[in-house]
Amino acid sequence: MSSPAPNRRSFLARGAALAAVPAVASLAGLAEPAFAADPLPDYAPIPPSALGPAVNAQGYYVGRLEKNLYWVTDSTYQAAFLTTKDGVVLFDAPPTIGHNLQRAIDEIASANGVSNKVTHIVYSHHHADHLGASSLFGRHVTRVGHAETKRLLARDNDPARPVPDVTFETHRTLHVGGERIELAWHGTNHTPDNIYIHLPNHDTLILVDINLPGWVPFSTFNISEDVPGTIAAPAKALSYPWKHYIGGHMGRTGTRRDMVIYQQYVTDLIDGVKKALVTVDPTPFFTKYGNNSWAAVKTYQDAQAEYASAPVIKKYTGVLAAADVYTASTAFLILESVRLDLGVGSQVHP
């Protein structure tokens, strides 16, 4: 296993978080950034419970989940791998971890005297931030994913993310080296192709970009493409038997308790949004901005999102990391879904 490095929280995690951001100033030949926010806001401290193990000097941590199933993280992204008698099954290949994926596999394989050759990569969904290192493993790896993942990757035509060789529509059992991996699609959520990856003999569920253990969702509900589907996902996840959870992001794995806390967080936001839709008066916003309809709508909806998110931020600060950072944007997307998908607050002109 990787040994701790004391500077992980102060440097490496931030480096991983910024890895995908273009170096605009460098590309433009600028000595300093063209824009700097002034002043930068302060946010609540991150609760220690949200932080995972320290990464090593190369920028990764690898640890055992159960038996021969391992997980690897750079404190911002996560992947997992299963060692078998016939080779290694890798679950996702985030580019921020990149070549450290093979280093982590090599470390475990060397310690346990097993093969370090990746024979299969299981795709959770098509997004580049989780698959962008897939091409590092060559053309002779069998890639497995949902049928929609193949269609979307063919559309995107990204050489870093080869299309799956093996696909399925609703369920598939993958047998590799005497191990069993259950793959299932239970409808759209974060994306149309995001799947549930269950390893029943290892008490583990992998469901990416839904619950990020210890943290609130990234902006606008992890940029959910299907809000009702995303809201329904935790209950579907909890219907599986598992002890360990891989959510795809941040520095630690999750538990069933983490899923319950996340589920309650979302429920609290839904309740707040429904109250906001009938409580926040639109009159001042439309009076002030007159025929600038977008200004009126924006400020009105900002006020609704603030109304819905304020008590949730207060309740979960110190419980979920960054509750004060992204809760309002998630409240906005849930507000739009409750309004548009469920019809709450919709009125027919007399």
Give 346's pLDDT tier (boundaries 50, 70, 90): confident
Give 134's pLDDT tier (boundaries 50, 70, 90): very high
**147-171: per-residue pLDDT in tens?**
999 999 999 999 999 999 999 999 9
Of the chain, the percentage scoring pLDDT greater than 90 comes to 87
**324-333: per-residue pLDDT in tens?**
999 999 999 9
Give pLDDT, residue 32. Answer: 59
Give 287's contacts (C-beta < 8 A, 6+ positions apart).
none
Secondary structure class of 61 (helix, strand, coil):
strand
**80-132: per-residue pLDDT in tens?**
999 999 999 999 999 999 999 999 999 999 999 999 999 999 999 999 999 99
Q: What angle do CA 232, 235, 240 make, to 5 degrees?
A: 130
As a whole number, mean pLDDT of residues 201-206 equals 98
Give pLDDT, residue 257. Answer: 98
Above 50 in pLDDT, residue 272? yes
Reading phi first (left if > 0) and then psi (alpha if -120 to 50, else beta), residue 279 is in: alpha
Above 70 in pLDDT, residue 19? no
Helices (H), 71-127: 100-112
Give 266's contacts (C-beta < 8 A, 6+ positions apart).
231, 234, 334
Task: Identify the H or E element spanning 182.
Answer: strand 179-184
As a whole number, mean pLDDT of residues 296-318 equals 98
Give pLDDT, residue 216. Answer: 98
Give 119's contacts (C-beta < 8 A, 6+ positions apart).
86, 87, 88, 89, 141, 142, 176
As a whole number, mean pLDDT of residues 241-256 equals 98
User: Judging by beta carbons within 10 Å of its beta carbon (0-12, 13-18, 19+), is residue 294 exposed, middle or buried?
Assistant: exposed
Above 60 in pLDDT, residue 10? no
Start-to-end CA distance of the chain, whole Å, equals 68
Q: Cα 38 to chain center, whole Å?
A: 29
Higher pLDDT, 348 or 269: 269
- Name which of 311, 298, 306 is nearest 280 in CA terms: 306
Question: What single letter denotes the amino acid at residue 334?
Answer: I
Above 70 in pLDDT, residue 31? no
Give pLDDT, residue 339. Answer: 93
- Name which of 246, 207, 231 is nearest 125 in CA terms: 207
